[in-house]
Amino acid sequence: MSGNSFGKLFTVTSFGESHGPAIGCIVDGCPPGLALTEADIQIDLDRRKPGQSRHTTQRREADEVQILSGVFEGKTTGTTIALIIHNTDQRSKDYGDIMDRFRPGHADYTYYKKYGFRDYRGGGRSSARETAMRVAAGSIAKKWLFERYGVVIRGYLSQLGPIVAETLDWDEIANNPFFCPDASKVQPMEDYMDALRKEGNSVGAKITTVASHVPPGWGEPIFDRLDADIAHAMMSINAAKGVEIGAGFDCVAQKGTEHRDEITMQGFLSNHAGGILGGISSGQEVIVHTAFKPTSSMRLPGRTVNLDGEAVEVITKGRHDPCVGIRATPICEAMLAITLMDHALRHRAQNADVTTDLPDIPASP
Amino acid sequence: MSGNSFGKLFTVTSFGESHGPAIGCIVDGCPPGLALTEADIQIDLDRRKPGQSRHTTQRREADEVQILSGVFEGKTTGTTIALIIHNTDQRSKDYGDIMDRFRPGHADYTYYKKYGFRDYRGGGRSSARETAMRVAAGSIAKKWLFERYGVVIRGYLSQLGPIVAETLDWDEIANNPFFCPDASKVQPMEDYMDALRKEGNSVGAKITTVASHVPPGWGEPIFDRLDADIAHAMMSINAAKGVEIGAGFDCVAQKGTEHRDEITMQGFLSNHAGGILGGISSGQEVIVHTAFKPTSSMRLPGRTVNLDGEAVEVITKGRHDPCVGIRATPICEAMLAITLMDHALRHRAQNADVTTDLPDIPASP
Amino acid sequence: MSGNSFGKLFTVTSFGESHGPAIGCIVDGCPPGLALTEADIQIDLDRRKPGQSRHTTQRREADEVQILSGVFEGKTTGTTIALIIHNTDQRSKDYGDIMDRFRPGHADYTYYKKYGFRDYRGGGRSSARETAMRVAAGSIAKKWLFERYGVVIRGYLSQLGPIVAETLDWDEIANNPFFCPDASKVQPMEDYMDALRKEGNSVGAKITTVASHVPPGWGEPIFDRLDADIAHAMMSINAAKGVEIGAGFDCVAQKGTEHRDEITMQGFLSNHAGGILGGISSGQEVIVHTAFKPTSSMRLPGRTVNLDGEAVEVITKGRHDPCVGIRATPICEAMLAITLMDHALRHRAQNADVTTDLPDIPASP
Amino acid sequence: MSGNSFGKLFTVTSFGESHGPAIGCIVDGCPPGLALTEADIQIDLDRRKPGQSRHTTQRREADEVQILSGVFEGKTTGTTIALIIHNTDQRSKDYGDIMDRFRPGHADYTYYKKYGFRDYRGGGRSSARETAMRVAAGSIAKKWLFERYGVVIRGYLSQLGPIVAETLDWDEIANNPFFCPDASKVQPMEDYMDALRKEGNSVGAKITTVASHVPPGWGEPIFDRLDADIAHAMMSINAAKGVEIGAGFDCVAQKGTEHRDEITMQGFLSNHAGGILGGISSGQEVIVHTAFKPTSSMRLPGRTVNLDGEAVEVITKGRHDPCVGIRATPICEAMLAITLMDHALRHRAQNADVTTDLPDIPASP
């Protein structure tokens, strides 16, 4: 458990490097009896897959997942589910130029200091390629949460660099390569990304993830609050630099009368809390915003040092996402799903017998 | 480990309710040989203690900590350190009026749904009173980190409602009741809080926490990244709604050339990363911002329901912080300290033998 | 979690030294709604308490437990339950003679090597005094298991030195100071212990613990098997040197036809398995044997070295149990209860929805 | 972490069924810089491999391991090491006869009750085939422990059914198919097994595992004692029913003067403790005995019930080990290695700075 596992009862442990033979994960804790095929998992993998538009890395990976265990006659058995994706389009030679120099803003310096050596091939373990397995594992959690509790988990890109999505049309998201929910912003994003690519630069993005129909009462007190675990989950994604629940940093300037979500038996009157109070779900939509930084790999030269401590310039050629946030939507959904499923199981363990007289308060009307 | 423990190798497990006889915690994993007295811990507890100015709750708690185990002849023994604080100023009767009705924005509804009953006395386990033990445990981590590695952990209030601290004077922080580092903003904060209290309202705040002299190489890959664990730690504090590392949400609109921190052997040229790259410390200052929402307990009436599902109004009298963020600075410092100490120990376990030829890059000049 | 916690979902974390001000523990994971008072816990504590016959240590401890949190209006709240017992009869000066020399067979040498110093007062953290908190925590698990599932957990001393209990009369156990289920062996045990005490020597013992009415299906595959966790639990008790499930080491010379427990719908025809197959409960009685070594503290001199590496003799005066196994019965029951409750909760988390057409096979007729 | 992971800092998580496409594991926590190839791992796998003599199952598995990640340019990287073995000789049809009936003494009934369905193919996840991955993971731990600390881990079969090995010749062990250290008992074992196979029966065995040159000070207090974790590790192996440390159950009848290992600066004068005192290594040899029951799968008919609750007879044809203990030696070595490596890392985390004036006491002279 040295950092490569997530979840206490629904646990994902991953392996693999960007340029090794395969990446994979073991999912432990999925209850038995869930209908599951590779096709179920492939749907989300294909949404994250690189090379689907000119705005993401041109590395071509089929990302075909294989289930190695834990499923028998089309259903989960309750034992560990192993998933594997073979890497097919590695090009280590792309990295020859930078193998002795550190990329500013990249993990290569800190990995070197931690581990004492350099896996210069595309980031090795620190590569965002690892997130494919999060998506694969998350798709199992998504399916179970929906089938068992009706929970629906969806996400979208709410901001790309300076361009903010201003309307939320869930049906629009699959129509454009950005997961943008605002059709009017798709062309501006296309233009922005084309200019950015020409410039050789990169840019940040914000992803919003929403879980609907989460029952009230999921979460834990004190340290393993649902929001704390979600923050852990989201901040663990490559390039994430900020996480907000509900109103997030807008809370700072809010007064209590504005922030609190008043309650009626017909529903909460607002949802500034983002569906979580005291670390426990309220039954409202769980709303999470995650900030992604601009990729450090870019064609514009930067000042750095090499392994000998000499001042040098670095340019990253290779094949990179100029905006990692674009492909982050399915990853955020996956991490939210994994976190919620973990808490669903924790809730069953401890609170299976709890009943209350008061009906659940509906989500915001 | 049902939610009341934090840390993998330096583990804090807490207990206690706002209106029970005592609160306390067990700290497991502190190496032997650290000089430690109750006075060392009391310093930080006194900084968090309520009733120190008119701007915080008027509940009077001495918050005198007692060490029950794990220290022998003035030094830690390596075994569990138990800390206890006896509650002395409970007034459960303050809560008589609200015992059957839910406070909008408060954990009482979600606790009721999770646990099936109501501890109406001041929030019970969900009360911010629990954070005293975080501060106590954190002070041990702070001391060990400083004595063993020279790490210094400090925090300040960077925004209170609409008022933003614009200068950072570390020496000013202890001079005012807000932990504000900008002397010019203290009077405006006093005035704002006085008006707020008169109005019976509450307000949010932002706390910034900084760890200096963290060696490069602390952290884990993938899920237990240092930034992910910090996000977990901070979001687990009562009323926290957002966490940022370094540039945080500002990254969204940044380009890569702006965001990346260029490297020279004289030091990094900037610190947008907030001291963490790929989940691992870079040797720069670790910088964390945390957003706190306005307290839900306030004198202005709000719409809600009672245990019978009837529409009612709720007013919280009792004794409450109109801005919980004011006392949050030592709590944020404590959680950052606990997280860093946990990773320091993890680093020793796995990377004790690692050496590199390249000297550490200094922090920003 | 550096060694002082046990259980994954029902977690006990303990603190305290033999000669410090108090010992205690935090119990995390107890579901809400269990009726619980200090008297419920005191029953088992009194069974373990020292000084109840001339055959155990003459240290006088009331061992009065206090509940500090987690219980409200007589019921568990679902949050952490803190238990504390104040030490009242420490006599550190008893240890003056041995403070610089190691006792053969005692933890003082290994603690010194691990922690780098000596807490010479009665063993410090390694003292069996710590087991009082296991008993306290275990009594909560026992009560919950019985009320929720009808599980009954009982134990007895099955061998004391050379004297083997040959009949099992559950009603006899409380009638003698040894927890011996065979009335005909009580007087021989009295005589043996009197002679042993006069001699100044110590002796080993074997404890058998039985859980009845455990439903089938509790346990986990592979590493966290129910029997593996029980072995962990039992071997973690001071002075334990061996653990057996069911037939235990007798299996070595058994043939398959003898060992396997044949199955009929009226019940299993034998119980060599000790109620666990493949790490999962079968519905038969869970039967566990634990071997306890003779205490290292005794009046007969032994060869050893002191802190300066000089050859010296050591004699332990103080007040010690000449047979720690005598008081081990309630401790073994407690550890079995804690382990089973942990697995009961794990089962609820993952297998709450499982049903089968086949009725449960009854235990052996 | 639902049961398929072992180890806190050196963590092994396994997957795979007897008759699925592959089995494998992820090893997390191996420090960087250990030279490691597939050949290093294959050595131990070949020792455990089935089909090497007429006394073990005739299933033919090459058990060729592949390293999928965590090793770069011949050295471990510090990130997760994934190991995989493809199954090549499944014959599910062997199980057609028993797919609807439970084998007495087998996990199939308890798995059915826990998971609600039957994977009748060779035991599915409960098959001893899973232990191949323990051996693979253990070989990494063995290598690291030896190269970093000089720890040597070896095992042998100390009893097969009624035949007890009476001499310990480490060089003999590899010369016979039983891992028997007593050359004079090899022919009797051959004869016994031939008769047993002809009879269609199975038998138990005892394995002894020894770790030499373990430094003093490894282990934890209270619950995660080194011996408790070893007991957990050993009892988690398929068919294990008992675990002893050092004198084990012989302690029960020992007096203190006999049991305690007296100390001189030239060495301990005996090793009844099995190298562990108070849960912490003493520097003596760590000695562990594990009892394995006779396999439940055998050709002699037994009474049982089928899925419809009807009384039926069961005979297991397939290909099975008549004595699972024979191949258990490398598995026990692996589990001991994994446990010791976990504690070595824990020791580094917490006790890296500890020094003492007293030299280490040597092991028994």
Report which DSSP code applies to C9: S
Q: Nearest 5°: CA angle at D12, between D6 and D13?
A: 90
Question: For a pLDDT cut of 90, what percent of chain D falls above it?
Answer: 82
Binding residues of D: 48, 54, 125-127, 238-239, 278, 293-297, 319
- Dist. CA C192–CA C194, nearest whole Å: 5
Give Cα separations from B3 to A163, A301, B119, D242, D273 (angstroms): 39, 46, 18, 34, 38
- Dist. CA D187–CA D172, nearest whole Å: 13
Name the residue facing A303 among B159, B263, B273 (closest C-beta): B263
Beta bridge partners of B72: B75
Q: Do C29 and A79 touch (CB under 8 A)?
A: no
Chain B 46-75, residues with CB within 8 Å of chain C CB atoms: 68-70, 72, 75
- Residue D23: pLDDT above 90? yes
Q: Do C1 and B5 touch (CB under 8 A)?
A: yes
Neighbours of chain B (3+ CB pairs under 8 A): A, C, D
Parts of chain B with a pLDDT under 70: 1, 59, 90-96, 121-122, 318-319, 365
User: Greater confidence, D277 or D59?
Assistant: D277
- Dist. CA B236–CA B240, nearest whole Å: 7
- Dist. CA A18–CA A15, nearest whole Å: 10
Q: What is the pLDDT of residue B62?
A: 84
Q: What is the pLDDT of residue D120?
A: 73
User: Greater confidence, C93 or D57?
Assistant: D57
The residue behind tokens 């097919």 is A88
Q: Which of C239, C229, C255, C210 is nearest to C338 (CA)?
A: C229
- Residue D326: pLDDT above 90? yes
Residue B188 Cα, gap to closest chain D Cα (Å): 47
Contact in structure between B134 and B338 (CB atoms under 8 Å)? yes
pTM of the model: 0.97
Q: Band of the pLDDT at A254, cuts 50, 70, 90?
A: very high
Binding residues of A for NADP(+): 48, 54
Residue D75 Cα, gap to closest chain A Cα (Å): 10
- Dist. CA D236–CA D210, nearest whole Å: 18
Q: What is the pLDDT of residue A95?
A: 60
Q: What is the pLDDT of residue D21?
A: 93
Give chain B positions within 8 Å (CB) of C85. none
- Longest Cα–Cα distance of chain C, Å, equals 70
Residue D8's contacts (CB-CB under 8 Å, 6 or more residues apart) are A1, B8, C1, D224, D342, D346
Q: What is the pLDDT of residue D139?
A: 98
- Dist. CA B197–CA B56, nearest whole Å: 10
Helix, strand, coil % (nearest 5) of chain B?
35, 20, 45
Minimum Cα–Cα distance from D79: chain B residue: B221
Q: Which of A191, A214, A83, A86 is nearest to A142 (CA)?
A: A214
Q: What is the pLDDT of residue B95?
A: 61
Give chain A positions within 8 Å (CB) of B280. 107, 110-111, 113-114
Residue D45: how many other CB atoms lie within 10 Å: 23
As a whole number, mean pLDDT of residues A264-291 equals 97
D41: left (phi over 0), alpha (psi -120 to 50) or beta: alpha
Q: Specify the DSSP element, H or E, that contains D186.
A: helix D186-199
Q: What is the pLDDT of residue C19?
A: 84
Contact status of A231 with chain B (Cβ, < 8 Å): yes
Contact status of D352 with chain C (Cβ, < 8 Å): no
Minimum Cα–Cα distance from C347: chain A residue: A349
Binding residues of C for NADP(+): 48, 54
Give chain D positions within 8 Å (CB) of A70. 15
Handedness of CA B301, B302, B306, B311 (dihedral sign): positive
Q: What is the pLDDT of residue B261?
A: 97
Q: Band of the pLDDT at D93, cuts 50, 70, 90?
A: low
Pull the structure tokens for residue C290.
């634990």
- Residue D1: pLDDT above 80? no
Residue C29 Cα, gap to closest chain A Cα (Å): 7
Pull the structure tokens for residue C10.
């029902």
For A37, phi then psi, to 5°, come to: -130, 170
Q: Specify the DSSP element, H or E, that contains D257.
A: helix D256-259
Q: Are strands A240-245 and A205-212 parallel, antiparallel or unpaired?
A: unpaired
Chain D 100-159, residues with CB within 8 Å of chain C CB atoms: 102-116, 125-126, 130, 159
- Dist. CA B84–CA D340, nearest whole Å: 35
Sequence-ordered strand ranges (E) for chain A: 5-6, 11-16, 22-28, 65-67, 71-72, 75-76, 81-86, 152-160, 163-164, 205-212, 240-245, 263-264, 267-268, 276-277, 280-281, 286-292, 302-305, 311-314
Pull the structure tokens for residue B348.
């020793």
Burial D222-250 (b: 16+ CB within 10 A, else e): bbbbbbbbbbbbbbbbbbbbbbbbbbbbb
Interval D166-186: pLDDT, tens:
999 999 999 999 999 999 999
Mean pLDDT, all residues of chain D: 93
Parts of chain C with a pLDDT under 50: none
Q: What is the pLDDT of residue B319?
A: 67
Q: Which residue out of C114, C133, C229, C269 would a mutagenesis test of the D interface target, given it has the greatest number of D Cβ atoms within 10 Å?
A: C114
Prediction ipTM score: 0.97
Least confident window among A117-131, A278-292, B130-144, D340-354: A117-131
Q: What is the pLDDT of residue C91?
A: 64
Residue A119's contacts (CB-CB under 8 Å, 6 or more residues apart) are A17, A111, A125, D72, D77
Q: Where are the alpha helices (DSSP H) in chain A?
A: 38-48, 108-115, 131-149, 186-199, 226-235, 256-259, 328-351
Q: Which of D10, B351, D70, D27 is nearest to A17 (CA)?
A: D70
Contact in structure between A128 and A238 (CB atoms under 8 Å)? yes
Burial A299-308 (b: 16+ CB within 10 A, else e): beebebbeee
Name the residue facing C31 among A8, A9, A353 (closest C-beta): A353
- Residue A301: pLDDT above 80? yes
Pull the structure tokens for residue D151.
């720890």
Minimum Cα–Cα distance from C34: chain A residue: A353
Q: Specify the DSSP element, H or E, that contains C24.
A: strand C22-28
Residue D215: how many other CB atoms lie within 10 Å: 15
Binding residues of B for NADP(+): 48, 54
Interval D245-287: pLDDT, tens:
999 999 999 999 999 999 999 999 999 999 999 999 999 999 9
- Write the single-letter amino acid at A62: A
Minimum Cα–Cα distance from A128: chain B residue: B222
Instruction: Give the three-state DSSP class for D76.
Output: strand
Give chain A positions within 8 Å (CB) of B300. 256-257
User: Greater confidence, A1 or C73?
Assistant: C73
Interval D24-38: pLDDT, tens:
999 999 999 999 999
Give chain D positions within 8 Å (CB) of A14. 26, 80
Question: Between 1.10.357.10, 3.40.50.300, 3.60.150.10, 1.10.3980.10, what CATH number should domain B5-351 receive?
Answer: 3.60.150.10
Residue A158: how many other CB atoms lie within 10 Å: 23
Instruction: Give the three-state DSSP class for C115.
Output: helix
Instruction: Give the three-state DSSP class for B240.
Output: strand
Minimum Cα–Cα distance from D75: chain A residue: A117
Minimum Cα–Cα distance from B34: chain D residue: D353
Q: Do D203 and C256 touch (CB under 8 A)?
A: yes
Residue B83 Cα, gap to closest chain C Cα (Å): 10
Q: Nearest 5°: CA angle at A284, between A286 and A149?
A: 80
- Dist. CA A349–CA D193, nearest whole Å: 47
Contact status of C266 with chain D (Cβ, < 8 Å): no
User: Greater confidence, A251 or C320?
Assistant: A251
CA C261 to chain centre: 28
Question: For a pLDDT cut of 70, what percent of chain D falls above it?
Answer: 96
Q: What is the pLDDT of residue A122?
A: 64
Give Cα separations from C122 to A89, C108, C127, C317 (angstroms): 65, 10, 7, 11
Residue B193 Cα, gap to closest chain A Cα (Å): 12
Q: What is the pLDDT of residue B317?
A: 77
Q: Do C351 and A78 touch (CB under 8 A)?
A: yes
Q: What is the pLDDT of residue D160?
A: 98
Strands of the sheet with B65-67, listed across from one edge: B5-6, B11-16, B22-28, B81-86, B65-67
Burial C151-168 (b: 16+ CB within 10 A, else e): bebbbbbbbbbebebeee
For D75, phi then psi, to 5°, come to: -130, 150
- Dist. CA A51–CA A101, nearest whole Å: 27
Pull the structure tokens for residue C250.
């007798």
CA B202 to chain centre: 19
Contact status of D20 with chain C (Cβ, < 8 Å): no
